[in-house]
């Protein structure tokens, strides 16, 4: 499948709240395959359809090749643990830029798979961080909005110096 161009920060598409997936068909499967190839080429461990300018609630996560690929359509968090963790985050839309973000250590969430079947699962640690990060993007919240204004401003200045 083709690697698609990735929207770069500060593209307005990164602020779009994505629409739910309603058609679980071959077009969705092709999009999911393209997202996987695009994410691997970036490289990254997670990507949403919004990253490539398709504003549907589709995300792909692959923490490692051994872990396998996870496809989530219409994911939503049901509950968050009170316990948090800090993890270094970044984005395929802002390559080379990272900072520490505090998120819930564990979550319970629901989603649909590529066939449209509903699932409800729990995740913790790095997977929970990734799911929260990608759901934020589906909601039009770019990861660095989770940083303090000072850290965000520094990151933006650093990004602008890269000429991206």
- pLDDT tens for 4-41 read 999 999 999 999 999 999 999 999 999 999 999 999 99
Query: CATH number of the domain at 12-161, please?
Result: 3.90.45.10
Euclidean distance between CA atoms 74 and 158, whole angstroms: 33
pLDDT higher than 90, residue 1: no
Phi-psi region of 144 (alpha: psi -120 to 50; beta: other; left: phi over 0): alpha
Which of the following is catalytic: 19, 62, 120, 134? 134
89 belongs to the catalytic site: no
Residue-wise pLDDT for 114-157, tens only, equals: 999 999 999 999 999 999 999 999 999 999 999 999 999 999 99
In sequence order, the β-bridge partners of residue 48 are: 59
Between CA 34 and CA 55 the distance in angstroms is 15
Distance, CA of 116 to CA of 28 (rounded, Å): 10
Q: Which residue in this structure is represented by tokens 């963790």?
A: 85
């Amino acid at each position: 499948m083709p690697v698609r161009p990735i929207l770069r920060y500060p593209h307005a598409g990164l602020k779009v709240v994505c629409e739910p997936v309603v058609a679980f068909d071959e077009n969705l499967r092709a999009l999911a395959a393209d997202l996987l190839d695009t994410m691997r080429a970036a490289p990254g461990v997670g990507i949403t359809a919004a990253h490539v300018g398709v504003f549907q609630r589709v995300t792909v996560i692959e923490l490692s090749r051994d872990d396998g690929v996870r496809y989530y359509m219409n994911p939503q968090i049901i509950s968050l643990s009170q316990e948090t963790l800090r993890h270094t985050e970044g984005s395929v839309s802002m390559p080379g830029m990272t900072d520490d973000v505090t998120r819930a250590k564990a979550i319970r969430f629901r989603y649909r798979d590529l066939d449209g079947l509903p699932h409800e699962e729990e995740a913790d640690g790095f997977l929970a961080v990734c799911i929260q990060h990608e759901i934020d993007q589906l909601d039009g919240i770019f990861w660095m909005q989770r940083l303090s204004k000072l850290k965000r401003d520094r990151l933006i200045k650093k990004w602008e110096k890269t000429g991206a």
